[in-house]
Amino acid sequence: MRRIQFDRCGDPEAVLYLAEVAEPEPGPGEVRLRITLRPVNPSDIAYIRGLYVPPEAFPAATGLEAVGIIEAMGKGVTDIKVGDRYMIARQRGTWADKMIVPALSIEHVPAEISDEIACQVHANPLTAWLMLQGVTKPGAIVQTAAGSAVGRLVDQLGKIQDRRVINIVRNQITADDLYKQGATHVVISSQPDWLNQIQQAAGPEPIIAAFDPVAGQTGLDLLSVLAPGGELILYGGLSGQPVAVSAMQLAARNLSVKGFWLGPWFANTSADEQARVMQRLLTLFQKRQLQIPVAGIYALEDFKAAIRHSLTPGRLGKILLRS
């Protein structure tokens, strides 16, 4: 079977290669999943570049989400049927034809959920949902990278929750696409008065939170539009730069900067609560109240082209890899 792996961290196109490895056999409590579809997420790229949790050993595999078909089961596995469709998350190594995972880590895919949604229904939807749930004060929310999967989901969930979400993008093409998908407030950051446009879009509402996966100067700019008591929530660092904020800049207006990552939520949340949140999200997808557009689907062996597309500015949807 095939697996995309790397022997050192670095530029994905330079360090990744397609390897032939032995087909794994499931042990007790495990299943073998034949993977049909998996996303190319920003966290995958960061992991390969060495900007995320470091690999435990080399060669290392990447990918944390996928959907596939159960092919084989180990001893002690019950209530799972060979041939049924399941999705997985937080199991490193999904950029492969097949993988072994604990039976308790997989989730059955409802018939109404497509493979395109099932393979990416965890990381981005959960991030959008939990960041919004963490904002308890009334007021508007501003977000950068609004054309990304997380950004689109924040906007859609914001409407469901009756939140004013102000979306920031870098170009008119993405802005037009967001308006087409139902966004109400979109600001283009390449325009000279974009910070003023954010304030105008907020109207009488205070801007009490900003979601940002970019950091650097972008994060610093967002602090300037926050109302007193507001918070900047960083869930990535795509710029590779820190947010160089002074203590007095925060203290004078009682602002705060904090990070968001799914890891602590999974570690500190009961299995029942995790299942409840996931069921809520799946229901919204089944009702088509949530959607994640797909910009391209590539064969597994064409992973370099998929990565290039995923890193293209102005991309209007997620990039997926198909086996």
Decide if 194 contacts 187 (C-beta within 8 A): yes
For the chain, percent of residues with pLDDT exceeding 90? 88
What's the Cα-to-Cα distance from 70 to each of 26, 33, 84, rounded to whole Å?
A: 11, 5, 6
Question: What digits encode the pLDDT tens for the residues 67-76?
Answer: 999 999 999 9
Average pLDDT, the chain: 94
52 falls in which pLDDT band (50, 70, 90)? confident
Burial of 83 (0-12, 13-18, 19+ CB in 10 A): exposed
Q: Copy the structure tokens of residue 5.
A: 């792996």
What's the Cα-to-Cα distance from 277 to each of 104, 265, 298, rounded to whole Å?
A: 17, 12, 30
Question: What digits encode the pLDDT tens for the residues 179-197?
Answer: 999 999 999 999 999 999 9
Q: Which helix (H) or strand (E) holds 70?
A: strand 65-73
Question: What digits encode the pLDDT tens for the residues 200-249?
Answer: 999 999 999 999 999 889 999 999 999 999 999 999 888 878 888 888 88
SS3 annotation, 119-130: CCCCHHHHHHHH
Decide if 319 contacts 296 (C-beta within 8 A): yes
Place of tokens 């009682």: 254
Assign 18 to helix, strand or coil: strand
- pLDDT of residue 38 exceeding 90: yes
Question: What digits encode the pLDDT tens for the residues 129-181?
Answer: 999 999 999 999 999 999 999 999 999 999 999 999 999 999 999 999 999 99
Outline where the chain has alpha helix (H).
Answer: 12-15, 42-49, 115-118, 123-133, 149-160, 172-180, 194-202, 216-225, 247-252, 262-268, 271-286, 303-310
Question: What digits encode the pLDDT tens for the residues 250-292?
Answer: 999 999 999 999 989 999 999 899 999 999 999 999 999 999 9
Question: φ and ψ at 64, to 5 degrees?
Answer: -125, -5
- pLDDT of residue 315 exceeding 90: no
CA end-to-end distance (rounded Å), the chain: 11
For the chain, percent of residues with pLDDT exceeding 70? 100
How do strand 231-234 and strand 207-212 relate by DSSP bridges? parallel
Among 142, 152, 135, which Cα is nearest to 221's? Answer: 142
- pLDDT of residue 13 exceeding 90: yes
Q: What is the DSSP string of 181-246?
A: TT-SEEEETTSTTHHHHHHHHHTTS-EEEEEESS-HHHHHHHHHHPPTT-EEEE---TTS------
Cα gap 166→187, rounded to integer Å: 7
How do strand 107-108 and strand 85-89 relate by DSSP bridges? antiparallel
128 falls in which pLDDT band (50, 70, 90)? very high
**Domains of the chain, with CATH numbers?**
2-120+292-322 (3.90.180.10), 125-263 (3.40.50.720)
- pLDDT of residue 54 exceeding 90: no
So what's the pLDDT on residue 246? 86
pTM above 0.95, yes or no: no
